[in-house]
Structure 1
Amino acid sequence: MNTNNKKPRRQQILEALAHMLEVSPGARITTAALAKEVGVSEAALYRHFPSKSKMYEGLIEFIEETLFSRISIINSENENALLRCEKMLHLVLAFSERNPGITRILTGDALAGETDRLRLRVIQLFERLETQLRQIFREAELKEGLHFGMSVIETVGLLMALLDGKMSLYVRSEFKRLPTANWPQQWHHMVHGILAAEPQYS
């Protein structure tokens, strides 16, 4: 993402940070390098963000606002539970694919050496997503009569592992292995693997 002088300075800084995370995989971003990327002094950066961790928090807030506003729309649609679940997972994967640098934050790769508060914020984001998925699967059981070969918690845990794995592979491949690659086929086989013919009791 390239900065644009017509954009607010705060937005320029966040876009520059996301861009540097994308083009410098494995490298720790310094405020000096970020200031140079934006074309301002370090003092100018701190007028908009009191610390570098606040810049990362700004990107995490962007992730939360983007994903959960769209998830709310998906949940409001009058569609079956599994279709909404598929749309929700594809949304996260497509967002990851379009924002490689930000994906490094989601996987924790970019947060090494940063404050624990950032790591906990990302954990909470994924917990919130997992809660949304659990609600959908419980609805699938109660309202649609679907049955799964595992508990809702175990089923959603498997889907979260798939989501996390595809994003981690994207980062590890230096953004060559796209998160949405082969998604329709993978989702098809995943659904057939988790559905059970009869209720499962434990």
Structure 2
Amino acid sequence: MSDKPVRKRLGADERREEIIRVTLELAARQGVDDVTTQDMAQAMGVTQGAVFRHFPSKDAIWLAVMQWVRDRLMSVLGRAAGQGCDPLDALQRMFFAHIDFIAGHPAIPRVLMSENLHGRSPALRQLVTEIMLAYEAKIAGLLR
């Protein structure tokens, strides 16, 4: 009998979520440019091939990370703004929600601002631009 712990088999969506979560955790500790797919695999206790069964490339992983950021951040900001009793209160709630979100995911500013990452991937650069424009639109909507 082996002393090696048995790894729980996850569905494809759960494994993709785990890869995204681990990638953000590693980026917070190591910096965006130093995260390798081998690091991701090791942190999850799987092979590097297992990572590539869910994403065709490292750039695809970063794109999924940024899509996750976009979806979660916009949802958090929308909920926070919706709780405001007036536009100024909504704006304040939105900013505090943003700060809380970033505090919980400290790698996000690094990912958003990584020139190396964006230089490699036009799709990622476009997604970051879309996030910034959506954020700006939320603020502008409150100020009207």
Q: Which of 26, 36, 43 in structure 2 is aligned with 1:37? A: 43
Q: Classify the secondary structure of the residue corresponding to 2:107.
A: helix
Q: Report deviation, 1:78.
A: 5.8
Q: Look up the SS of the partner of 2:61 in the other structure.
A: helix
TM-score normalized with structure 1 length:
0.59
Please list the CA deviations of residues 84-120 of structure 1 after superposition, one character each: whole Å capped at 9, or x if unmatched. Answer: 1111122112211111122311233672553132122
Separation in structure 2 between the aligned mates of residue 94 and residue 17 of structure 1, nearest angstrom: 20
Match of 1:84 in 2: 90
User: Structure 1's 74 and 43: CA in aligned 2 closer, same or farther, altered over 3 A?
Assistant: same
Q: TM-score with structure 2 length normalisation?
A: 0.79
Partner of 1:18: 24
Counterpart selection for 1:105 from 82, 98, 111: 111
Query: Gaps (5+ residues) in structure 1?
Result: 139-202
Greater C-alpha Rg: 1
Give secondary structure in 1 for the equivalent of 2:34: coil
Give 1:33 deviation, angstroms.
2.4
- Residues 90, 5 of structure 1: alpha-carbon distance in 2 compared, 3 angstrom cutoff: farther
Unpaired runs of 5+ in structure 2?
1-6
Larger helix percent: 2
Cα shift at 1:51: 1.3
What secondary structure, in the 3-state scheme, does the structure 2 residue paired with 1:14 have? Answer: helix
Query: Residue deviations 1:29-55, cap 9 Å, x none?
Result: 222222222222221111111111221
In the alignment, does 2:116 pair up with 1:134? no
Q: 1:110 to 1:6 in 2, by over 3 A?
A: farther
Q: After the TM superposition, which residues 37-186 of structure 1 pair with which residues of structure 2 at under 5 Å, given as runs?
A: 37-77=43-83, 79-108=85-114, 111=117, 114-138=120-144
Runs of 4+ with deviation above 2 angstroms? 4-8, 25-28, 70-78, 106-114
Distance in 2 separating the partners of 1:131 and 1:114: 27
Query: Whole-Å Cα distance in 1 between the matches of residues 101 and 35 of structure 2?
Result: 22
In structure 2, relative to structure 1, the CA distance for the partners of 1:98 and 1:77 (3 Å cut) is closer
Kindly tell me the number of residue pairs found equivalent between the two proteins. Answer: 135
Structure ranking higher on relative contact order (CA contacts 8 Å, 6+ apart) = 2
Root-mean-square deviation (CA, aligned residues, Å) is 2.4
Q: Give the equivalent residue in structure 1 for 2:15.
A: 9
Asked whether the equivalents of residues 104 and 110 of structure 1 are also in contact (C-alpha less than 8 Å), the reply is: no
Q: Equivalent pairs: percent with the same residue?
A: 23
How far the C-alpha of 1:75 sits from its partner, in A, is 4.0
